[in-house]
Structure 1
Amino acid sequence: MTTTAPRRRASISDVARQAKVSVGTVSNVLNRPDRVSPATRERVLAAIDDLVFVPNGSARQLRAGTITTAGAIVLDVSNPFFTDVARGIEDRLEEADYTLMLASSDENPEREARYLRLFEEHGVQGLMVVPSTPDVEHLEALRARGVRVVLLDRPSPVDTLSSVAVDDRAGAAAAARHLVDLGHERIAFLNGAHTIRQCADRSAGLHDALVELGLDPGEALVEITISTLNADGGQSGTEQVLGLADRPTATMCVNDLTALGALRTLRAAGVPVPSGMAVVGYDDVTFAGELATPLTSVRQPTHQLGHRAADLLLDPDDVVEQVTFQPELVVRESTTGVG
């Protein structure tokens, strides 16, 4: 009987040789990619993928099974939504004596890829990731190398990866019905790029509800794309709304941070809320109900979202499962007024 010797694990020198660069350049690509030209970086990354390279220190730890660490990559950890999700993850991991490594991708695919490589190098055994792009092929490859992966706050587009998400179409539709029930027939929507799954789904949910209610979305909805999904983005989007000749009477915001910027801008412009402009947020983060004008918002079960994602990651059977939570509209004074 013949046996086949196991394939030697690729080294950083192998990567450097194949990419025709120095070992130092490979190290920079892994740890300081901003120091390497895009063309060289792409060549090194192609060699890493081709050789299925994992740094040796991490490989020893993974083989020994001595590391009990999970990682999470979210879009922006400073966003209270992701802070609450991370707490849910942490609480579940603590039950299993795991520690959490947390990072923000800032919706940047290169930054996400860098953290994925760093986490793998440091022996992280499982990852929960909010993908910065719809393409998850790189996460499937990570799973194929033995790292457990759960998509966070995204439904999985493939049957090889587990996911935990919220039905954003339903949440946005509930907000639209609420505004129309209050008499609003022209609504502004401050939204991010549709390449972000939540942004696309929330836009679709608004359209669904307006059609259902007999309104033409082309006339009833003014969607304004903002560059940052935070208070500054809410401010710039609201300034555009206020400059419209046919001004909407309500503004739906893609998240509560955006709504915070919208409320700030309306106050500075002397526009009363809700009589001059009703405002709805999304996420129902901690501060939403504590504002001077408490914010109507679509509540997401943030702690449950994180807790369930970690639960899937720790599943001893490693079963692929898609979990979807339902959101809830929380009505406050930013749409209904006092009393």
Structure 2
Amino acid sequence: MTDQLPRRPARISDVARLAGVSLGTVSHALNHPSRVRPATLERVNDAIRELGFVRNANASTLATGRSTNIGMVAIAFGNSMFVDIARGAQRVARNAGYNLLLAGSEDSYDTQGQFVQFFDEARVAGLLLAPMEDSSEHVDRMASHGRPVVLMNYDGPEDACRVVVDNEQVGYLAARHLIERGCRRITVFGGGDQFQPVQLRRRGIARAIEEAGGAVEVDAVTTDGLTPAAGEAAVAPIAAAAPDGRPDGLLCLTDAIAVGAIRGLQAAGVDVPGDMLVMGCDHNTQSWDGDVTLTTVAMRGLEIGETAMGLLLEELTTPASEHAHRRVVVEPRLEVRSSTTR
């Protein structure tokens, strides 16, 4: 029997022929096995195993008009916050009978658009999107084809549900912590203000500085990106300055920047936290290794993912006329480690 197996990928018709049943019986065996007599079901499953048949999910979607796949496009999975978001989203999706498909845009708006197009053409049921800038055109594209979108970690348009971290509070907690630890000259490291979370974190920092009533000096350094390399390059002039010309606190708007800054300071002989306190902002587990563990503000990724997927499933099962988009805010929390503990 196996000598006559096709060299091309096996089709459902091949399964039916080998099992000696109709195409409809194979379809029922795949989708509604309880409707098939046990002996027949066993023959079909034997044929599937022998042929190495893999069902065509896209064809099933076209036939039934319903997909069990949900897409997720995040900024970068090198940041463990987005891994946590994916884990939380997947947990809820699987419990509801859905699959989660992941893509990382690597901080590129164009790449994000390409993945949104891919998921749209793949006819996913819906999309979780974690952008860094306004992505209304991507939301509109999916919505125009009946595919709901839930935004994560970005406070976008009101025509989509969104789960946001209070990023202003992230900046406030970070700055307030350094002030409470005795810092009076704080330098803020971060990327450009084209990124909404960065804008909001700066606003929170300004609020904490204002509350200090003039007791704290603050300046800002724009890093060339949000990576460890960017942090290490930006800290070089500070590390090379005389001790009395350095800040006593460094507030980095991402943990990745903070990791690079600590590396650069240590290489120049500046002790962290003895000579300078260093603070991060997004609870990236990549920053947990090394001699100096990083104090940061946790973004609670698991909760974001679980909440976002819950909103998406709610929208998928609610008539459009009855659905109202919602905005859910997840509060951050301070995580104190050795980089600010003298």
TM-score relative to the length of structure 1: 0.76
SS at match of 2:281: strand
Match of 1:228 in 2: 225
Distance 1:326 1:198 in 2: 14
Match of 1:109 in 2: 109
Q: What does 1:147-158 correspond to in 2, within 5 Å?
A: 147-156=147-156, 158=157
Change beyond 3 A, Cα 1:129–1:135 = closer
Change beyond 3 A, Cα 1:225–1:72 = same
How many residues are matched?
278
Q: Per-residue CA shift, 1:36-64, capped at 9, x if unaligned?
A: xxxxxxxxxxxxxxxxxxxxx97993673
| Cα pair 1:294 1:333 within 8 Å, conserved | yes
Match of 1:120 in 2: 120
SS at match of 1:118: helix
Q: Per-residue CA shift, 1:291-316, capped at 9, x if unaligned?
A: 42222111111100111111111102
Match of 1:329 in 2: 334
1:320 equivalent to 2:317? Answer no
Segment drifting more, 291-300 vs 272-281: 291-300
- The answer for unaligned runs of 5 or more in structure 1 is 1-56
Distance 2:102 2:135 in 1: 21
Shift of 1:177: 1.3
Q: Root-mean-square deviation (CA), in Å?
A: 2.2
Distance 1:300 1:292 in 2: 23
Match of 2:46 in 1: none
Distance 2:120 2:63 in 1: 13
Q: What does 1:175-324 correspond to in 2, within 5 Å?
A: 175-215=174-214, 220-243=217-240, 246-315=245-314, 316-317=317-318, 318-324=323-329
Change beyond 3 A, Cα 1:272–1:145 = same
Return the letter of the residue paired with 1:296.
T
| Cα pair 2:294 2:338 within 8 Å, conserved | yes
Q: What does 1:40-189 correspond to in 2, within 5 Å?
A: 61=61, 64-156=64-156, 158-189=157-188
| Cα pair 2:150 2:312 within 8 Å, conserved | yes
Q: Per-residue CA shift, 1:181-206, capped at 9, x if unaligned?
A: 22211111111121111111111111
Return the letter of the residue paired with 2:147.
V
Shift of 1:284: 2.1
Identity of counterpart residues, as a percentage? Answer: 31
Distance 2:113 2:137 in 1: 12
Distance 2:105 2:273 in 1: 35
SS at match of 1:71: strand
SS at match of 2:226: coil
Change beyond 3 A, Cα 1:62–1:223 = farther
SS at match of 1:283: coil
SS at match of 2:123: coil
| Cα pair 2:132 2:196 within 8 Å, conserved | no
Change beyond 3 A, Cα 1:62–1:249 = farther
Shift of 1:259: 1.5
Shift of 1:163: 0.4
Change beyond 3 A, Cα 1:288–1:138 = closer
| Cα pair 2:81 2:300 within 8 Å, conserved | no
| Cα pair 1:105 1:132 within 8 Å, conserved | no
Shift of 1:252: 0.9
Distance 1:240 1:325 in 2: 37
Shift of 1:140: 2.5
Segment drifting more, 133-142 vs 195-204: 133-142
TM-score relative to the length of structure 2: 0.76
Change beyond 3 A, Cα 1:112–1:59 = farther
Shift of 1:142: 2.0
- Largest Rg, 1 or 2: 2
Distance 1:294 1:135 in 2: 35
| Cα pair 2:66 2:125 within 8 Å, conserved | no
Match of 1:38 in 2: none
Runs of 4+ in 1 over 6 A off after TM superposition: 57-60
Distance 2:282 2:313 in 1: 26
Shift of 1:250: 0.9
Shift of 1:288: 4.4
Distance 1:250 1:335 in 2: 9
Return the letter of the residue paired with 1:236.
A
Q: Per-residue CA shift, 1:92-132, capped at 9, x if unaligned?
A: 11111211111111222211111111111111111111224
| Cα pair 1:59 1:123 within 8 Å, conserved | no
